[in-house]
Structure 1
Amino acid sequence: MDSVTERDARLRIAAELRMFLPVIRRREWQRVTTDGTSTLGHHVESLGIPLTEAGPMLSDGRGVAPSHLLAPGETVEVHPMPRPQPLPAEPRFLLDVHLGTLARRLRLLGVDTAYHNDMDDPALVVQANEERRVLLTQDRGLLRRRALWLGAYVRGSRPADQLRDVLERFEPPLAPWTRCTACNGVLVPATKEEVGPLLEAGTRRSYDAYARCGDCGQVYWQGAHSDTLEEIVQSARIWANSR
C-alpha cells in the first residue's frame, strides 16, 4: 500500500467488495485523504463501491454510519451487505432493461417482479420508490442515485448465476407457476372451453389443463418448453430447501 500522510485514513475493504474496485486498486487496504467535509460513504463510493453493497462499517470495532466524517489516521473496516439482507416487507423487485431473462425467471418462481424494456433510469427510480420495489441492476451509476430508496447490484453474467445471487441475497418466498412471465400478473385456472378460441388446433387436442393471466390474458399450458422451465423451478426449490 502507498505511504500514509498525516491527513490520510485507511479503509479495509472486504474481499466480497473488491470486485467493484478498479483493477489497479483491487487490494484490501485503501488510502483516502480526509478533508473534514467528505463522509465515509462518499469515500467508499469514490472507490467504486455502491453503498447499496456495503454493509457494516467499523471504526475500532465500533459501528459507524455512511455519514461519518473520517479523522486523519482512522481505520475503518468496510464489510459487505449481510445475506440474507433484511427488508421491511416481502421482497418486490424492479429490474432494469438489461435483466429481462432474470425478470422472466423470477416471475416463473412466483416472485413479484416488475420489468420494462423501454424505461430510462429516472423512471426506474420513480417506480421503485412509489411501489417500494428493490431496484436490481448491474449499473453502478444507477445505484448511486440519491433519490433511490433501495437497490442492489446483481452479480453474474449468466441468468442462472444472477437468479442464484438474488435468491441468496433476499430469500424471497417462492410460488412457482403463479405469475405471468410476460407481464407479472397473477395466473388463474382456466378451462379449455374458456381459452379454446385463443388456442391453435394442435394445442387444444394435446392439452387439457390451462391457466390465464388475470391482467394481460396470456394463456399458459404445459408445452414443449415445460421441461426446461421445470428444471429452473426445481433447482430454485432445491437451493431454497437447503438454506
Structure 2
Amino acid sequence: MGILIEVAPDLRLFLASRHRDGRVEAAVDGTSSLGHVVESLGVPLPEVGTLLLDGGHVSASHRPVDGEHVTVLAVSRPQPTPDPPRFLLDVHLGTVARRLRLVGVDAAYGNDLDDDTLIDMANEQRRILLTQDRGILRRRKLWFGAFVRGSRPDEQFDDLLDRFAPPLRPWTRCTACNGRLAPVAKDEIEHRLEPGTRRCHDEFARCQSCDRLYWKGAHHERLREIVNDARRMRHA
C-alpha cells in the first residue's frame, strides 16, 4: 500500500521525470525514517523546510506507516542563516563566488577541493556549502548546505540572493581571493601601475590578503550593472 507523498513545486526538479507532477506513491518498511524515504526520491533534506503528516508537522525522523499522506515543502525564503552568512562554493561555482565577492559577501572557493575537504572546511568555518551535487547534500556530517538552482551564473547568483538575502557591501572584497579591500594612496603603488593606468586613474584599493590592486578599469561598467541589479533584487 505505502504512503502518498506530495512534493511542493519548488522541489520537483529533484524528482524523476515520471513524478514531476509532485505526487509519489512510496513503499515503506516500518523501519526507514521519513527523511530517508524523501531522500530516496531524490530530494536532499537540506532543501526541505517542512514535513506535514496528514496536515500536521512531523520530523524527518518519523517512521511512516501504510496509508499516511505526507506533504514535503521547500525551505522558506529568505532562509534564516547565521548573521552574517558565510559561504563556501564547490568547484563548479567559481563565477558565482566572484560575483558574491563583488557585492561584498564572504564567499570562499577552491577549484581543487574534494567533497570531504569541502565538508570539513564548511563545518570548521561555519560556512554554508553551496553546490549542485545532491550527493554531498545528503552527507549527514554536513552542518548546513544548499542546492544552487540554475544552469547559468546569472540564474545561480539570483537564486542565492533570493534564498539567503545576504547583506550587500559592494566593492569591499577581493574577487580573486575573498580578502578585504582597503583604499590605498596612488603614490604607494604607482611603481606597480602601467603608464596608461597611472595617467588615467587616481583612486585605488588593495587587497589586504593577496595585495591585488583594484581601480575603475575597462570592465567597471559591467561590474556596476551586476552590483546595481543585485541591489534592486535585494530590495524588491
| TM-score, normalised relative to structure 2 | 0.98
| Match in the other structure for 2:19 | 25
- Cα distance in 2, alignment partners of residues 225 and 204 from structure 1: 17
Give 1:97 shift: 0.5
1:84 aligns with 2:48: no
Of the three residues 204, 209, 219, the one matched with 2:198 is 204
- 1:70-219 correspondence to structure 2 within 5 Å: 70-219=64-213
Of the three residues 33, 43, 47, the one matched with 1:49 is 43
The one-character-per-residue Cα deviations of 1:75-130 (angstroms, maximum 9, x if unpaired) are 11001111011123321100000000000000000000000011111000000000
- 1:58-69 correspondence to structure 2 within 5 Å: 58-69=52-63
Give 1:60 shift: 1.8
Give 1:24 shift: 2.2
- Cα distance in 2, alignment partners of residues 88 and 203 from structure 1: 40
| Match in the other structure for 1:230 | 224
| Match in the other structure for 1:37 | 31
Instruction: Give identity over the alignment, percent.
Output: 57
Give every structure 1 segment of 4 or more consecutive aligned residues whose post-TM-superposition deviation is greater than 3 Å.
none
- Cα distance in 1, alignment partners of residues 32 and 172 from structure 2: 48
Give 1:201 shift: 1.5
| TM-score, normalised relative to structure 1 | 0.95
Unmatched 5+ residue regions in structure 2?
none
Give 1:32 shift: 1.2
Give 1:25 shift: 2.4
